[in-house]
Structure 1
Amino acid sequence: MSDTDKINRTFNSIRISNNSDDEYVDDIQVKKYKYPAKDGQDLEFDITPDACQRFGFFFGQLVSTPSGPAKVIGVRNGHLWFHIEKDIGATYWDNGKDNKSLIEDLKIKLVENQFLEIECKVKAIQYNDRTVQIVLNENKPQSMLVAIANVLLLLGKITFDTEDKNKVKMSQIGALVYKYMEGQCKSDKEKQNALNKYREDELQLLIYSGVSDVNVKFSAIDQFEMKSIYNIFNFVNIKLYHGWIYSENEEGYDIIMEQNLTHHDLEAKMIRFIEIFPTMSIQFERTVKDFLAGEQLTYDGYRSLKEKLENNQLCVFYRNNQFQTLRKQDNELYTLEVGQNHSNTAWNKVEII
C-alpha cells in the first residue's frame, strides 16, 4: 500500500459530519479516541461535545484550514487537533486556543454543502449494445451518490438533461436520484413515509458524505449495521454489498459469528484483546489484525459475491471507504472505472490476491 493510500484510508476513516448534535457523536460511550498524529504516534483524544465546545468545532466535521481541507479529531492537552487531508495524521495550531482564535486568526471555516457545486465529467460508454452516460469521479473518493447514479444510468432509469453534455453538478445528480426515489416510493406507503422524513438537500448530503457511516458485518456480504444511510438503497431498489468476510477456516470464526460482530465492534475489542479474549491464542490476535488491515476483500467474500449476483446484475460495492458500481458478467466481477484511468477502460476486473 502506498503512502498516499495510507493517508487516504486514515483520513477517510473519520466520519464526515457538520452537525455537532450528530447521533454518531452522541452515541460515543468513551471519552478517549485513539488516532495517529502527524509524527506517527498513536495518541488519545477527547472527542466528546463537552470537550470540543469551547473551540466551536466537533469530532468528524469537515473544515477548511490555512493548510487545506481537514477533519476535526478531538482535544488533547488543551488544543483542538485536526487531520489535514495531505498529512498522515493529526496536528494542531499553537495559537488556536478557542473558537475566536480558530475563526479570526486561523480563518478555519466549516465546510457546508460545497459538494453541491462540484462538477463531474460525463462520459459516454457502450453497455449492453447501448450508448449510455456515466459520471466520472476523478481524484476524489468514490461517493455513494456517483455509484448509485451510475447504476441507474446504466439501467436507463435516469438520464441527464443539461445544456453541457460533458459535465454535471453534484446537485443535479442528487436531484435526479431523489426524483427517481420519489417515483419508486409512490406505490409503497411505508417507503413514501420514510422518504418524506428527509428534505431533498439533507438526503443529498447523506448520499454524498455518508461514507464512513457504513459499518459492515463480517457474517455475509449483504449484512451491515443498519442506519439511516441504508434507507437510500431501499428507496432506489439497488443492492449494497461488501466482500469483507471472515473465513470459517480461521480461528475465532465461531466467536465473530455468534456475536455478530461489525467492523467497529472488532476494532474496539482489539484494543483490549487479552481482557476480552483471555482464552484465545496470540495467533488469533495476529489473524484478526491482518484481517482488519487488509484490503477488505477476502476469498470468502469474493466467492460469495460471485454466488450471490446474477449474470448482468448491477449493484453498489463498498470497499475501503469507497462506493463502486459493480457488475457480474460471464461469471466474473467488474467495477466501473470512474477515476483517473477512465480513458483506458470502462470496467476493471475484480481479482483476489
Structure 2
Amino acid sequence: PLEEGGSPLGTPPPALGAAAEPPRAQPPAREEDFYCVKWISWKGERTPVVTQSENGPCPLLAIMNVLLLQWKASALPPQKEVITAEELMAHLGNCILATQPRDTSEALQLNFQQNINDTMTVLPKLSTGLDVNVRFTGVSDFEYTPECIVFDLLNIPLYHGWLVDPQSPEQVQAVGKLSYNQLVEKIITCKQASDSSLVSEGLVAEQFLESTASQLTFHGLCELTAQAREGELGVFFRNNHFSTMIKHKGHLYLLVTDQGFLQEEGVVWESLHSVDGDSCFCDTEFHLSHALGKEGATAAPPDHQLQQRQVDQDYMVALSLQQGQNPPSVLSDLELARQLQQEEYQQHHPPPPPQLLPAQAGGRLAGERRQRQKPDLDCTLL
C-alpha cells in the first residue's frame, strides 16, 4: 500500500512490488510528541491549527485540522501554543464517540460499536502513517481498508488526484479499475508473459506510473476541482502525504501546516492549481499573501514563467469546458484579474527609490513572479 512517509515511486514499479511496505524513517520521539499550535482568524473566530515538523504524522494532523476548522473538536485553551500527540488523540477520540447515532435500535448501536472497535485498532497508525491504496478511476476511489473507517465515521472526505486520462485509450485499457497494488502486480505478470500484447500492455501501465510519479494528473486536478463541494473541508492524499483541503469559490487550497510558517499570519492556505507544484500563498480569507515563502525569494526564469502561465490558462480552459462554461470569458476574466491584482500589489508595495533599484532587483522580481501566478488562481476576485 502507499504509505505516508514511504517512497513508492522512487523506483520502477516491479521493484515496488518486491517492497510493498518500504521502511519509514523514524523521527526522534520529541519531534513526534509535541506540535506547535498556530492561531488564525477563521470565519471571524480565533481558531487553532496544528503545525508539523518535517517528519510529523500528517494523517493525524490533517484530520484534526479539519475538525478544528469545523469547530467539532473540543476548544483549546486560548493561550495554547504546544499540543502533544496524546492530547490530539484524546480530542480525536471524543469526536469519534460523538458520532454515535441517536437512533437507539439495537442493530445501529451494534454496528456503531463494531466501527468503534475497528477504529481503535487504526488510531495508533495515524501517528506513523496510514496505508491507502488508490484506484485511478475517480478522485474518491480507494480500495477499502480498515484505515478508511476513521474518515467514514467522522464524515471527512478523502481525495486524491491520480487519475488516468480518459482520452488515452491505451492507458485506460492497461490500468482499468485496478488499484495501485494490483497494477504493480499486473506489470510484473505482463513482463513475464509470452503474449506480446500482454507485454505491451504492461509497458503502457509502467509508463503511466513513471509519467505520473507526482501522483497528480491534469485530468485528476480537473476532476478534483469539479467533484469537491464548495466550502467543503476534506483530506487530500498526494506524494504519500495527507493535507487538509478546502474548495473556496471554485478553487482548491491546502492548509499550510509547515512549522516554518508558524509566525506568518498572512500565510494560511496554499493554492492547488498546478500539477507541477507551482502555487501561491493566501491568507485566512483567501486573499493573496504578499509575504514571500521559502521558495518565494528566488525568481523563476522568464521562459518558465511564460510557460507556466500558458499551462495555468490551459487548465482554466479545460475546467471551464468541463463545467459547461465559455472559455473566452475565462481568459478575459483572467486578464482582468491580473490587471486588478497588479494594481493592488502596487498599492501595498510602492516602488523603492531609484538609487535602491539595483540592490532590490532580486526581491522585486520574486514579487513580480508571484504577481503573475496569483491571478491564474485568482485568490482575491473569484
TM-score (norm: length of structure 1): 0.64
- Structure 2 counterpart of 1:270, from 187, 210, 224: 187
> 1:82-121 alignment to 2 at 5 Å?
118-121=33-36
Structure-2 residue corresponding to 1:349: 271
Aligned with residue 151 of structure 1, among 66, 78, 101: 66
* Structure 2 CA distance for aligned equivalents of residues 164 and 155 of structure 1: 20
Matching of residue 324 in structure 1 with residue 243 in structure 2: yes
1:127 pairs with 2:42: yes
> CA-to-partner distance for each residue in 1:223-263, whole Å, 9 max, x for gaps?
101110000011111111111001111243443564x2111
Q: Distance in 1 between matches of 2:30 and 2:153?
A: 22
- Cα shift at 1:316: 0.6
Match of 1:12 among 6, 31, 35: 6
Tell me how far 1:203 sits from its aligned partner: 3.9
Structure 2 residue aligned with 1:209: 128
The structure-2 alpha-carbon separation of the partners of 1:43 and 1:350, relative to structure 1 and needing over 3 Å to count, comes to: closer
User: Cα gap change, 1:219/1:165 in structure 2, threshold over 3 Å: closer, same or farther?
Assistant: same
Is the CA contact (8 Å cut-off) linking 2:165 and 2:172 kept in structure 1? no
Contact kept in structure 2, 1:147 and 1:323, CA below 8 Å:
yes
Higher relative contact order (CA 8 A, sep 6+): 2
Deviations 1:19-57 (A, max 9, x none): xxxxxxxxxxxxxxx997xxxxx9899889xxxxxxxxx
Alignment-derived partner of residue 245 in structure 1: 163
Contact 1:273 1:285 in 2 (8 A): no
**AA matched with 1:263:** Y
CA distance in 2, matches of 1:278, 1:303: 34
Equivalent residues of 1:318, 1:324 under 8 A apart: yes
Name the one with the larger helix percent: 2
After superposition, give the CA deviation of every residue in 1:87-136 in whole Å (9 maximum; x if it has no partner). xxxxxxxxxxxxxxxxxxxxxxxx9xx58961000011122232211000
Inter-partner Cα distance in structure 1 for 2:62 and 2:4: 22
Percent identity between the two aligned chains:
22
Note the alpha carbon deviations across 1:303-330, whole angstroms, 9 max, x for none: 1111111211110111111110000001
| 8 Å contact from structure 1 (residues 326, 335) kept in 2 | yes
Report if the CA contact (8 A) 1:136-1:338 is conserved.
yes
Partner amino acid, structure 2, of 1:224:
F
Contact kept in structure 2, 1:184 and 1:235, CA below 8 Å: yes
Residue 115 of structure 2 corresponds to 195
The 1:190/1:235 distance shift into structure 2, 3 A limit, reads farther
Gaps in structure 2 of 5+ consecutive residues = 103-107, 276-382
**Cα deviation 1:114-165 (Å, max 9, x = unaligned):** 5896100001112223221100012125521110100010011113445960
| Local SS of the residue matching 1:351 | coil
Q: Is the 8 A contact 1:246 1:300 kept in 2?
A: yes
Q: Secondary structure at the match of 1:124?
A: strand
Equivalent-residue separation in structure 2 for 1:231 and 1:134 (angstroms)? 23
TM-score relative to the length of structure 2: 0.59
**Matches of 1:158 and 1:129, distance apart in 2:** 17
CA RMSD, Structure 1 to Structure 2 (Å): 3.6
- Residue 265 (structure 1) shift: 1.6
Distance 1:163 1:206, change over 3 A: same
Q: Structure 1's 10 and 292: CA in aligned 2 closer, same or farther, altered over 3 A?
A: farther
User: Is the CA contact (8 Å cut-off) linking 1:243 and 1:296 kept in structure 2?
Assistant: yes
State which structure, 1 or 2, has the greater radius of gyration over its C-alpha atoms: 2
> Which deviates more, 272-281 or 136-145?
272-281
Judge which range, 341-350 or 312-321, deviates more: 341-350
**C-alpha distance in 1 between matches for 2:56 and 2:49:** 16
SS of the residue corresponding to residue 178 of structure 2 reads coil
Supply the AA of the counterpart residue of 2:269: W
Q: Which runs of 5+ in 1 are unaligned?
A: 1-8, 15-33, 37-41, 49-58, 63-68, 71-84, 86-110
For residues 283 and 232 of structure 1, the distance between their equivalents in structure 2, rounded to whole angstroms, comes to 36
Partner letter of residue 245 of structure 2? Answer: L
Residues 195/352 of structure 1: CA separation in 2 closer, same or farther (3 Å cut): same
User: CA separation in 1, counterparts of 2:32 and 2:207?
Assistant: 44
Shift of the alpha carbon at 1:292?
4.5
Cα distance between partner residues in 2 of 1:131 and 1:153: 11
